[in-house]
Structure 1
Amino acid sequence: MNIRKADHSDLNAILSLSPQAIFDGTLGEVMPSSEKVESLVQPLLDKGGFYFIAEAKDEILGWVLVGTTKDQFTEKQIGFIYELYIRQQHRGKGHSKRLMNAAIEHFQKEGYAEVRLSAKAENPAVHMYENMGFTTRSVTMCLNLE
């Protein structure tokens, strides 16, 4: 298994799998259209965000989408992990952690003091994030009125 920065030729394959990635990441709540995915991802890519991909034998096993954002209060630039996805058949083999480490190393080399991410509370990946040293910084709550 190899981890590398995705190039332009990888983008179509990633975007074709992204609706499933969002569906899995939202624990089945949202299955966006390909157009919606592109409208979410393209601005991140235009601002310098990019994907690291895990691959083996020319097959994409998964990816992490990295970029930056500003802290809403301090205006300080921070690293942000927008998406982490491992294709179903390749889960449980440590690829997520290796992709996360690649993202964290990238932010360290670029001089960022902090990396953030967002995940559904029930997502099993939250345990991995905590084991890697991420801590809860804020909580988003909702009240379903339907």
Structure 2
Amino acid sequence: MEIRKANIVELESILKLSPQALFEGTLGRVRPTDERIKRLVEPLLERGCYYLIAAEKDNLMGWILIGSIKDQFTDEMIGFIYELYVTQEYRGKGISKHLMKSAIEHLQSEGYPEIRLGVFADNHAVRLYKQMGFSERNITMSLRMPCISQAAR
């Protein structure tokens, strides 16, 4: 297995699989369209974010999308992990850990003083992130509101 930056053909494969990746990453709460994925990812790629892939021969095993983001309070640029995904057939083989290690190395070599990521609280990946040294920094809370019909407004 090798971990390296994705080429254009691999990027197209990632974008085709990204709706499923986002669906799983949000624990089934979001089912994005291909167009929505494109609107989410293109601006990141345009500002220098990139995918690292885990591949064996011509088989795409998984990917991690990394780049930077500005801290909203300090305006400091920090490294950010936007997405981590391993395809179903390659799960349970330590690929996520290899992708995370590589991402951390890349972001560290680019000089970022800190690396952050966002994850749904119940996502099983939380355990991996803690093993990799990440800790909870802030908590975003949610209150689901009952649907109100248009007529009642």
The TM-score, its normalising length taken from structure 1, stands at 0.98
In the other structure, the counterpart of 1:123 is 123
In the other structure, the counterpart of 1:111 is 111
In the other structure, the counterpart of 2:24 is 24
Structure 1 residue 69: Cα displacement: 0.3
SS for the counterpart of 2:21 is helix
Structure 1 residue 13: Cα displacement: 0.3
Structure 1 residue 67: Cα displacement: 1.0
Structure 1 residue 101: Cα displacement: 0.6
In the other structure, the counterpart of 1:67 is 67
The TM-score, its normalising length taken from structure 2, stands at 0.94
Superposed, 1:1-146 pairs within 5 Å as 1-146=1-146
Per-residue Cα deviation, 1:77-132 (whole angstroms, up to 9, x for no partner) = 00000000001111110000000011100011111110000000000000000011
5+ residue gaps in structure 2? 147-153
Q: Alignment RMSD, CA only? A: 0.6
Following the alignment from structure 1 to structure 2, what is the Cα–Cα distance between the partners of residues 90 and 24? 15
Larger Rg belongs to: 2
SS for the counterpart of 2:137 is coil
Structure 1 residue 11: Cα displacement: 1.1
Following the alignment from structure 2 to structure 1, what is the Cα–Cα distance between the partners of residues 96 and 131? 12
Runs of 4+, deviation exceeding 6 Å: none
Following the alignment from structure 1 to structure 2, what is the Cα–Cα distance between the partners of residues 129 and 24? 17
SS for the counterpart of 2:35 is helix
Following the alignment from structure 1 to structure 2, what is the Cα–Cα distance between the partners of residues 10 and 58? 9
Following the alignment from structure 1 to structure 2, what is the Cα–Cα distance between the partners of residues 124 and 88? 14
SS for the counterpart of 2:43 is helix
Following the alignment from structure 2 to structure 1, what is the Cα–Cα distance between the partners of residues 59 and 72? 38
Following the alignment from structure 2 to structure 1, what is the Cα–Cα distance between the partners of residues 5 and 40? 20
Following the alignment from structure 1 to structure 2, what is the Cα–Cα distance between the partners of residues 38 and 100? 23
In the other structure, the counterpart of 2:149 is none
5+ residue gaps in structure 1? none
